Amino acid sequence: MNPIDTYLPDFGHYLRLERGLSQNTLEGYSRDIRHLAEFLEDDPRQAITEETLHAFLASLHDLGLGPASQARVVAALRSFFHYLVAEGISDSDPTVLLESPKVGRMLPDVLSVEEIDAMLAAIPADKAESPRNRAIVEMLYGSGLRVSELCDLRISRLAVADAMVIIEGKGSKQRIVPVSPAAMQCIGEYLPHRPEPKNGAEDILFLNRRGNRLTRVMIFLIIKQLAEAAGIDKSVSPHTLRHSFATHLLEGGANLRAIQQMLGHESIATTEIYVHLDTTHLRRQLLEHHPHYRK
């Protein structure tokens, strides 16, 4: 076994318990460190220096790994070597001067209200899963949930009288999110058709036909198929509905801090991407309606 592999279980505990990172992040970081171990297979006991890590990142670049993915690998490396130093396993941290690749901030696709209505209209009226799928779309767009949060949505955390839901987001951090009247109505219509839950899924809101919780992949497929059925020529995913939720709120005059709280962003800088989206919308309005812009 490569020496690095021996530290991965305790590194995982460190990420979960001390850093409070999500299971997805934990798995991604562990996978990145295993790739480093594979890179060092020819000489696993060599001293790992900044040059070694630059060579490792260069090998990932040669394999076609993009800047965003490389930046995640750098974050994993920093966390791992910080852990080794903190535990007294290593005397030095070779990532101190390691720079992340520059990642351009790409603006996500946003659906119009008409396109979201078209997706809802594309849900067949006569299928058993239709009430569930309608509620899924309304919750993603009406509350801005992450797909992982939707999968883990609990009936016990849904306050029907107050139209609120308690969401457990990244790092097991909880937040209270309003639920739109349309989403509440759809949930009410879905519950009588909800399948008998299997053991462990009794409190999970959205289930598949066998009574198990829906997977993220299944929700991606549901949204993708509805977008295609609605004739939407965009790359549409559950995150597209989340982006549309935030963008439409901002366009309607909502406070950026309020949007940050509803989305569960730890930093306001993450939420500020929607300012750029709104600026694009405003410029388009100027080009279409202001007389000097039409010259």
Reduced 3-state DSSP string for 169-189: CHHHCEEEEECCHHHHHHHHH
274 is catalytic: yes
Q: Which of 154, 198, 239, 281 is catalytic?
A: 239
CB 14 within 8 A of CB 60: no
Residue at 56: amino acid letter: F
Q: Which of 170, 194, 198, 224 is catalytic?
A: 170
239 is catalytic: yes
Q: Which of 7, 83, 190, 274 is catalytic?
A: 274
Q: Which of 146, 213, 243, 248 is catalytic?
A: 146
Q: Which of 78, 242, 243, 248 is catalytic?
A: 242
242 is catalytic: yes
Q: Which of 19, 82, 265, 281 is catalytic?
A: 265
Radius of gyration of the chain (CA): 23
Q: What is the helix (H) or strand (E) element at residue 159, kind and residue range? A: strand 158-159
Alpha carbons 62 and 246: distance in angstroms, whole number: 36
170 is catalytic: yes
265 is catalytic: yes
CB 105 within 8 A of CB 273: yes
Query: Tell me, what DSSP letter sits at residue 200?
Result: T
293 is catalytic: no
Alpha carbons 293 and 125: distance in angstroms, whole number: 46
The catalytic residues are 146, 170, 239, 242, 265, 274
